[in-house]
Structures are given as structure tokens and as C-alpha cells.
Amino acid sequence: MTSTLIVRPVAHCDLNHPTCPFSHGVSKGFEILHPAVLSRVLRELKGYVFDEAVISCPNPLLHPKVTELASLMKSVARRLSLFTPVTGLGKVSKELLEVIDELVVISSSISELKEEEERIKGLLSQGFENVAIYSTITREESTLLTASEHAEFCRKYGIPLRLGELPYVNKVPFKLRDTLVKEGCEVSIPYGLKYGYEASVTFMKDYRVIVLERPSGRACRMLFIDYYGRISKCPFTRPLLEAKDASSDLLRKVIYSECPTKDVGPDYVPEVRISLRAGRDVIIPPDILALLEVIESTNSLRAACRLLGYNPSTYVEKLRSLEKRLGVKLITSKRGGSLRGVTLLTEEGMRILATYRRVREAIMASLIKENVYRFSFEY
């Protein structure tokens, strides 16, 4: 029987999928799983090895230490897959690819897949061949068309295709196999579990497709850890343990337990607001600090605003106003040459960012030391 570890390292997505609940409310906070929390839980497994492990959406590439998380998970799993939205491929690093066994690219439409076609070709041309496309089906009436279009794309590059619901999101299972059969497709009986889903095989235009459905009544061995360090049987069930309470015996009881049916209820966590004061009257608020951090990684003001869900023109004015009150420049934009259009932090901007990161890390370390694992940072 396949055993599966699933880790959801961040709480929200930076993208705008209309049917994904993680795409909304990103500006209210940014909860992430601290590597120390994950490490503590995995140590308690004491030699238990999963057949597969999954770093799941929402976009795990937003986690600043996703490679470290991947390395921790790889130490307790025979195979590690990372899920990422297709529009997040630009954040995939070489270091991360050296750790994971498979990159699963989630796509809801052929148009967004074609927009990122060059990035996919780039991954394949650099020798990383373990790329799979996960085509998400959200409406019964669009199943066959969506699957067929994705199959044509995957055939072109020889990429494996998976077909399923939005991964680890829907509380009501989507009967994908029944829908495909109604459309005249032949679907095999389930042959096992993949990513924690029941896996079957069908063919779209003579191209092999793995169909993924929620396990229906069959026994499974799973463990799920969310961005707060809460532990449950799977992503669809209520948390059973906090990371601080995890022990080898309790973890094994969760893994081998029958699947509970209760939905995950609401949770209440502290939200940390970090602002920096310059002199007596000038405050650098959380949203500007977050913007400086993303500019530092993207080298683009517009891209940083898009990732954070900010209006670019509004934040250009906010930055100018803040720079005027501080009496220093925080960013500089290159207007010519090979760096045309690039936005960089000035020396003062980098100093502010370094202070912000130092304070944030200290707060996180202090909370975890006191066994407070659930918190978020406002931005």
C-alpha cells in the first residue's frame, strides 16, 4: 500500500485562479511553515519512510526556504514531487530541481500553458525531464475539451499528463471517472494511489493520461502537515495534532488510522505586524516592506506589485511619498542598456530590507521557542 506525505508550506497563492480559494485574500497575511517546525515533526518519524511525498499548492515557490523544506522531505520519502501553478514556473531554481524528483505543473487552461511554453521547453532542454502536467477540471461540461487540449500539448513534448480536481482543495469529491465514461472514454479500474489520489488510466487521442480521484473507502496511509505545522490524516480532514505535540507513536497512529470524515473547521492565529520607524514621524509600513523584499527578488516593481496583488500606480506614489519623507531613494530604475526596465533597491533600501528580515526572523524564532507555531505576518 502506497504511503504519502503531503506538506502545504504556504497559506495563500500569488495567482488569480477564479475557482481556487487560495488565490483570494493574499494581502491579508502570509503564513508559512517554518523549516524548524517541519524538521521537528519529521524527526519524530524515527525511520519511517514514505513511498511518496508532495509539496502542494498554493504556490510553494513563494516560500523563501522551499529548497530546505524539500531536502527535509526527501530524507523521509523515496520520491518527492513539487506542485506549482504553471504561471509560477519562473520561480523554479536549479537548486530546487536538484532536490525534487518530479515537477508537477498545474494548469487549468491550454492558453496559460502555451503562455509558459518557452519555460517548459527550457526545463526540458536543461536536462530536467521529470516534468508532468496536471490538468485541473473544475466543470463537468468542460472535462473532455480541457483534457484533449492538454493531451495534444503533452504529446508534443512527451510530457506525462495527469487529470484531476484542483489538488487538495475541493471538499466535495469530483466524480471525474464517471464523467469521462459518460463522454465515451474508456477508463481502467484504479491501479493504486498517486499523490494520495486514486489513480486510473485513460487515453486522449491515443495519449496515455492518468486520472486522479479522491480515494473512495479504500484504506490509505497518509500524513498531512499544513503551513501552521498542524498534522492531520489528509488535506481534507480536521487537524489532529500540533507539531509541538507530535511523537513517533502519535504520528504512526495518524498514518495508519481510518480516514476521518469531518471537515476542517475555522482557526484563530496571531497576526504579527512589523513596521519600521525612521526618526520620530516616519513609519515604513508592512506593505512597503513586503514590496521591497519582492522587488529585491524580482528586480521589477511591476512584477512585485502583481505578485503581491498591489496596484502599481498606487504603490509608485506611495514609494515616492515615503522617499520624500525619508530624504533618501529606496529604489532605482534602469532606463537604458541591457538593464533597461530593471528596478533595484538602493543601498538604503537594502539596509531597510535587512533590518526587516532580521526582525522577522527573530520574531519567528522566539515564537517557535515558546511552542507557538501558528502565526502570520501582515503585509
Query: Tens of pLDDT along 154-207?
Result: 999 999 999 998 888 755 566 788 888 888 889 998 888 999 999 999 998 789
Cell numbers 511553515 correspond to what residue? 33
Residues of the chain with pLDDT under 50: 18, 24-29, 262-265
How far CA 12 is from CA of 21, 26, 34, 264, 313, in Å, comes to 8, 6, 15, 17, 24
Supply the pLDDT for residue 306.
Answer: 75
Q: 3.20.20.70, 3.40.630.30, 1.10.10.60, 3.40.1350.10: which CATH number matches 3-256? A: 3.20.20.70
The answer as to CATH 1.10.10.10 being correct for domain 271-369 is yes
The residues with which 333 forms a beta bridge, in sequence order, are 343
The residues with which 4 forms a beta bridge, in sequence order, are 52, 222
Of residues 287, 322, 321, the one with CA closest to residue 305: 287
Supply the pLDDT for residue 145.
Answer: 81
Residues 169, 285: Cα–Cα separation, whole Å: 33
Supply the pLDDT for residue 329.
Answer: 95
Supply the pLDDT for residue 12.
Answer: 75
Residues 112, 303: Cα–Cα separation, whole Å: 17
Residues 110, 136: Cα–Cα separation, whole Å: 11
Whole-prediction pTM value?
Answer: 0.70
Residues 294, 305: Cα–Cα separation, whole Å: 8
Of residues 88, 101, 86, the one with CA closest to residue 150: 86
Supply the pLDDT for residue 211.
Answer: 95
Amino acid occupying residue 227 = Y
**H-helix segments, the chain:** 35-43, 66-74, 94-97, 110-115, 117-125, 143-157, 176-182, 248-256, 286-298, 301-308, 312-326, 347-369
Q: Rounded to the nearest 5°, which phi and psi values hold at 232?
A: -145, 175
Domain locations in the chain as residue ranges: 3-256, 271-369
Q: Could you tell me if 222 and 233 are in contact, meaning their C-beta atoms sit under 8 angstroms apart?
A: yes
Supply the pLDDT for residue 294.
Answer: 85
How does DSSP assign 315-348, residue by residue?
HHHHHHHHHHHHTS--EEE--SGGGTT-EEE-HH
Query: Tens of pLDDT along 79-97?
Result: 999 999 988 888 899 999 9
